Chain A
């Protein structure tokens, strides 16, 4: 009897490579022109799950909430060795803040059923909030260990990890079930496995209705391996009021593209004399010693 591990993953715009044309004239972001990527720390979470599975045995189930296109990150999960992938997708999930997102993911996790560990990336690069992981843990009423820089040991019914904090680190242990948020320093994510890529080359999607039969998962794990499951609001038995925009207490009041406060700027000549004058001036003003 191995461990049942759930990994939450997110497809994000590549905010590190935002160019000028990504901004519309009205100051909003034109998502259409941004390339999307697998959120980096979610790859670390997946890697950690796969490593734990290698040691302890078990299954790795990846869940992503997002538009249909987010199936791309789930394929990446399969290519790396995930056993089962689920896309939680529905127009009614759109506009979700972290509270509504964690609610939908909690419903999806409950539908998956039993689990020992939930692994999340510490934060996503499009919002950097680091909120969804702890909020899922609260909603499932399970323990959480955040900002994990290393998994130290996986025991029979517990896990010991290294947690990075401001002035050093802690070694902490929790019984299962627990939710962990994993940082980039925890591991080096493996690339996609070429053999797996071929296996899943023609991956299809299986729409799931609200009458989805749970026994299907248990009875024939192999048959569903070839499919990305897609679950909507009804499939995960979520309250639509708590999903998407209507389930989000935070609202965006205003978005401004960045306008720099004009400052009295002085151009310094890039010459020996120009730089020397500047250094001299800073010494005179006791800015430098």
Chain B
């Protein structure tokens, strides 16, 4: 059996629940494994997760290597990294995927460092292809595609000599398969061989905070860029979002300038969204931003610059003063509805 082609997903669990991003990654892994003619595996850590893990099968996972220990019920870096490293060394997958979450971005680099293998952060697409280095051709290598350099370019990264190739992927980027309840997963119990000395982080408190904004679940998003960042225009964007029953999003510079909180940020380093309607107000449309919203079903772009790249992506383009157009939209909706 050629283990080296299997695709493994790190299963992130928060509060004893499997994170959505892990199911998205299993769906992506299924597509990659199909192309490679290999299996989808997973590595899970935690305590009393068996019931939760059964659902992984519905998303295409064939085997999950599960380490159960009470001390692993909450994430800490060293014990998680050492356990995942051990599983990868033992089962030798060809590809390992992590969610680009706080947990994934903490543990994946540590694992990659221990294995001396390549790791690409925040991929927006994963494909299988070949890569040539001089006369050697590497078949079936992982093409890791991500925006780079502040989103001005798209880079395809490969790590053909690295076994495995590793990548992190943001929540919401990969489309989740429809669950198939007939598919099952084999849960393989793994021993926890972590020394007590490796539990270096003491967790004093865990505080859950209700999110003020839920962009991921929003069906309508009105999003403000720097061209709509003055208080009056932002106010109108917020009002339009409210009357349409949606949420207020924004681009990265708006967050960097301290105008809106990070939880509003759509884009590669923010939140990836797939709403029914996305209204981009005064957003030029750098790829960094587009990576987070290009899959919206309908996109309306409002910008005073007719050359703004966002128009190429939009289903409807309105060239004009953002404040003026937003005012018209609010008025039009209120009088129609």
List A residues 225-257 near B (Cβ within 8 Å). 248-257
Q: How far is the CB of B248 from chain A (nearest CB, A)?
A: 16
Kindly report which residue of chain A lies nearest to residue B299, judged by CB atoms.
A263
A137 within 8 A of B: yes
Find out whether the CB atom of B318 lies under 8 angstroms from the CB atom of A270.
Answer: yes
Inter-chain contacts of B178 with A (CB < 8 A)? none
Inter-chain contacts of B72 with A (CB < 8 A)? none
Inter-chain contacts of A271 with B (CB < 8 A)? 328
Q: How far is the CB of B206 from chain A (nearest CB, A)?
A: 5
Inter-chain contacts of B133 with A (CB < 8 A)? 251
- C-alpha gap A171/B162 in the complex (Å): 36
B207 partner, pick from A102, A160, A169, A256, beta carbons under 8 A: A169
Count: A-B pairs, CB below 8 Å: 260
List A residues 208-230 near B (Cβ within 8 Å). none
A134 partner, pick from B106, B150, B151, B252, beta carbons under 8 A: B106
Find out whether the CB atom of B318 lies under 8 angstroms from the CB atom of A128.
Answer: no
Produce 1/0 per residue, B13-49, CB < 8 A to A.
0110000000000000000000000000000000000
| Selected interface stretch from B50-58, B108-116, B188-196, B229-237 | B108-116
- C-alpha gap A216/B33 in the complex (Å): 57
Q: How far is the CB of A128 from chain B (nearest CB, A)?
A: 5
Known contacts: A135-B113, A275-B328, A278-B300. The answer to whether A143 contacts B200 by CB under 8 A is yes
Find out whether the CB atom of B276 lies under 8 angstroms from the CB atom of A253.
Answer: no
Q: How far is the CB of B138 from chain A (nearest CB, A)?
A: 10
Produce 1/0 per residue, A245-289, CB < 8 A to B.
000111111111110111111111111101110111011000111
Find out whether the CB atom of B152 lies under 8 angstroms from the CB atom of A18.
Answer: yes
Find out whether the CB atom of B159 lies under 8 angstroms from the CB atom of A249.
Answer: yes
State which size class the interface on A falls in.
35 or more
Inter-chain contacts of A283 with B (CB < 8 A)? 336-337
Inter-chain contacts of B311 with A (CB < 8 A)? 265
Inter-chain contacts of B183 with A (CB < 8 A)? none
Find out whether the CB atom of B152 lies under 8 angstroms from the CB atom of A287.
Answer: no
- C-alpha gap A23/B153 in the complex (Å): 9
Produce 1/0 per residue, A55-85, CB < 8 A to B.
0000000000000000000000000000000
Q: In the complex, how many residues of chain B place their beta carbon closer than 8 angstroms to a beta carbon of chain A? A: 94
B316 within 8 A of A: yes
Q: How far is the CB of B305 from chain A (nearest CB, A)?
A: 12
Find out whether the CB atom of A29 lies under 8 angstroms from the CB atom of B201.
Answer: no
- C-alpha gap A19/B198 in the complex (Å): 47
Kindly report which residue of chain B lies nearest to residue A184, judged by CB atoms.
B256
A89 within 8 A of B: no
Known contacts: A165-B102, A174-B200, A251-B160. The answer to whether A97 contacts B118 by CB under 8 A is yes
Q: Which of A143, A170, A173, A249 has the most CB of B within 10 A?
A: A249
- C-alpha gap A139/B315 in the complex (Å): 49
- C-alpha gap A264/B313 in the complex (Å): 8
A167 within 8 A of B: yes
Kindly report which residue of chain A lies nearest to residue B200, judged by CB atoms.
A143
A146 within 8 A of B: yes
Inter-chain contacts of B312 with A (CB < 8 A)? 260-263, 265
B208 partner, pick from A135, A167, A178, A270, beta carbons under 8 A: A167
Produce 1/0 per residue, A1-31, CB < 8 A to B.
0000000000001011010001100011100
List A residues 113-170 near B (Cβ within 8 Å). 125-135, 137-139, 143-147, 160, 163-170
Find out whether the CB atom of A266 lies under 8 angstroms from the CB atom of B118.
Answer: no
A99 within 8 A of B: yes
A-to-B contact residues, CB < 8 Å: 13, 15-16, 18, 22-23, 27-29, 97-99, 102, 125-135, 137-139, 143-147, 160, 163-175, 178, 248-258, 260-272, 274-276, 278-280, 282-283, 287-289
Could you name 14 residue pairs across A and B whose Cβ atoms are closer than 8 Å? Answer: A29-B153, A128-B269, A131-B119, A146-B105, A166-B14, A250-B119, A255-B148, A261-B312, A263-B314, A278-B300, A279-B336, A283-B337, A287-B277, A288-B220
The 7 nearest A-B residue pairs measured at CB: A15-B150, A270-B320, A249-B118, A260-B312, A143-B200, A131-B109, A129-B121
Q: 17 more A-B contacts (CB under 8 A) besides A18-B152, A164-B102?
A: A16-B252, A18-B150, A22-B152, A129-B109, A130-B109, A131-B121, A134-B106, A134-B109, A138-B110, A143-B77, A147-B102, A170-B207, A174-B201, A249-B118, A275-B318, A279-B332, A279-B336
